[in-house]
Amino acid sequence: MTELLGTRAELAAWLASTAGTRAVVLTMGALHAGHEALMRAARAEVGESGTVLTTIFVNPAQFGPHEDFAEYPRTLEADLARCVANGIDAVFAPDVLEVYPPDEEITEYEPGPLANELEGAARPGHFAGVLKVVSRLLQLTEADVTFFGEKDYQQLTLVRRLMRMEPRLADCRVVAVPIMRAPDGLALSSRNRYLSEEQRTQALAIPETIALVRQLCADGLTAEQAAHVGRGFLRTSPGVTLDYVVVRSVGLGTAPAVGEARVLVAARVGHTRLLDNGPVIIKGHEA
* Residues in 24-43 at the binding interface with ligand PAF, rule: CB under 6 A: 26-28
Helix axes 126-140, 153-165, angle to 10 degrees: 60
- Single out the residue of 152, 166, 208, 243 in contact with ligand PAF (rule: CB under 6 A): 152
CA 77/CA 91 separation, integer angstroms: 12
Own/partner contacts of 164-169, CB < 8 Å, gap of 24 or more, are 165/109, 166/107, 166/109, 166/135, 168/135, 168/139, 169/135, 169/138, 169/139
Q: Is 35 a catalytic residue?
A: yes
| Angle of CA points 34, 91, 11, to nearest 5° | 145
What is the closest distance, in whole angstroms, from the C-beta atom of residue 44 to ligand PAF in the complex? 20
Least Å from the CB of residue 119 to ligand PAF: 11
Residue 45: closest CA among 178, 188, 177: 177
89 vs 3: CA distance, rounded Å: 6
Nearer to ligand PAF, 28 or 247 (CB): 28
Kindly report the number of other CB atoms within 10 A of residue 169's CB atom.
Answer: 19
- Judged by DSSP in three states, 11 sits in helix
By beta-carbon proximity to ligand PAF, the closer residue of 28 and 255 is: 28
What's the first-to-final CA gap in the chain, in angstroms? 61
Q: Strand pairing partners for 276?
A: 265
Q: Which is nearer to ligand PAF, 130 or 188 (CB)?
A: 130
Q: How far is the CB of 130 from ligand PAF (least distance, A)?
A: 5
Nearest to 144 by CA among 59, 49, 33, 250: 49
Q: How far is the CB of 113 from ligand PAF (least distance, A)?
A: 20
CA 73 – CA 31 distance, rounded (Å) = 10
Q: From residue 56 to residue 95, what is the string marking binding to ligand PAF with x (rule CB under 6 A)?
A: ---x--x---------------------------------
Q: Rule CB under 6 A: which of 125-144 touch ligand PAF?
A: 130, 133-134
| Closest CB 224 distance from ligand PAF, rounded Å | 29
Output 26 or 216, the one with its CB closest to ligand PAF: 26
State the catalytic residue, choosing from 32, 35, 271, 285: 35
Q: State which of positions 165-224 bind ligand PAF (CB under 6 A).
A: none
Nearer to ligand PAF, 133 or 247 (CB): 133
The residues annotated with a catalytic role in the active site are: 35
Per CB under 6 A, residues contacting ligand PAF are: 26-28, 59, 62, 130, 133-134, 152, 155
